[in-house]
Amino acid sequence: MIDVFKRILKDPMGCFGLILVVLICASALMAEVIAPYDPIALNIKDRIQGPSSSHLLGTDQLGRDLFSRVLFGGRVALKVALISISAALSIGVVLGMIAGFGPAWLDNLIMLFFDTIRSFPTVMFALASVALVGLSLTTVIGVIVITSIPNYGRVMRTQTLSIKNNEFIQAERVMGASLPRILGIHVLPNVMGPLVILASMDIPTVIALEAGLSFLGMGVKPPTPSWGSILNDGYTLIRNTPWPIIAGSIPLILITLGFTFLGESLRDLIDPKLRKSV
């Protein structure tokens, strides 16, 4: 792990991505210390102001400080991304290994489950979920988890199929090793590399999805700050001020660049076939 970290620092693209990721994560975790104002405090007399020494990114239509809302919105984005990707990755890994190592009928059944989930457009699925369950952050996380499981499950199934007939797996079978031992000790460590890369590059996608759902009014409940709700406020105020849209767009752009560059660097380091020549 330390060796991978050192090699990332030697790669300009990976180092830049790592710096962006660390800065955004640190600013979200330390939002209470860094934020100069309460993100939901109203100050009508200072509404729709541009950037200044008092308000670094300006204020919205209710006088709320946009810089503070962006910082606390980062907490919501990272919470949704980390919880949903961790849950989807865990479930997808288990189902993918079972599909790749199990009998053909079980493989077909799990793949049918994946295809059924992927057949629903994410936004339509979110609309239906909100209508049935209600608007909440838990609903958003649930939608993202369910729609993300097939991505990791398919990759895990493919990786499992590629090594299930290897000699060391056959040797374990001959020695009477149980299926959980084979999958957990011999299969999983050998196939996690591509999944780690995929998960790191999916984080900005999930954050953008959460922002999109919040923009459409299907995400967090007001007045909880979210990058998507900031963009929604900016859209309604676009004729009066551009700063809410700028404030909501900047963190989305930075976190997409950060995790994409970091994921590309991890891919080059973890997969020898894609590793850059020095």
CATH number at residue 259: 1.10.3720.10
Span 49-76, mean pLDDT?
A: 90
Q: Is residue 145 part of a domain?
A: yes
CA atoms within 13 Å, Cβ hemisphere of 225: 27
Q: Say which residue, 93 or 165, is predicted with more confidence.
A: 93
pLDDT band at 277, cuts 50/70/90? very low
Q: What is the pLDDT of residue 72?
A: 93
198 pLDDT tier (thresholds 50, 70, 90): confident
What was the pLDDT predicted at 158? 86
Looking at the domain assignment, is residue 249 inside a domain?
Answer: yes
Of 1-15, 92-106, 201-215, the poorest mean pLDDT is in: 1-15
Buried b (16+ CB within 10 A) or exposed e, 70-104: bbbbbbbbbebbebbbebbbebbbbbbbbbbbeee
As for how many domains the chain has, the answer is 1
3-state SS, residue 59: strand
Mean pLDDT of the region 83-110: 89
**Domain with 164 in it:** 2-38+54-270
Look at residue 276 and tell me if it is in a domain: no
**How many percent of the chain have pLDDT more than 70?**
94
- Whether the per-residue pLDDT at 274 is higher than 50: the answer is no
Q: Does the pLDDT value for residue 276 go beyond 50?
A: no
Ranking 111-115, 176-180, 238-242 by mean pLDDT, the lowest is 176-180
Non-local CB neighbours of 138 within 8 Å, separated by 6+ positions: none
Mean pLDDT of 90-94: 90
- Of the listed ranges 43-52, 173-182, 211-220, 222-231, the one predicted with least confidence: 173-182
Model pTM score:
0.82
How far, in Å, are 127, 148, 249, 255, 262 from residue 205 at the CA level?
19, 11, 14, 10, 14
Rounded Cα distance between 274 and 264, Å, is 10
Provide the Cα torsion 110, 115, 120, 126; round to 10°: 40
Query: 278: part of which helix (H) or strand (E)?
Result: none
Candidate from 162-171, 190-199, 240-249 with smallest mean pLDDT = 162-171
The token pair that represents 249 in the structure block:
């767009």
- Domain annotation covers residue 198: yes
Average pLDDT, the chain: 84
| Cβ-proximal residues to 16 (8 Å cutoff; 6+ apart), any chain | 258, 261
The reply to whether 278 falls in a domain is no
Answer yes or no: is 266 within a domain. Answer: yes
Q: Which of 112-116, 217-221, 260-264 has the lowest mean pLDDT?
A: 217-221
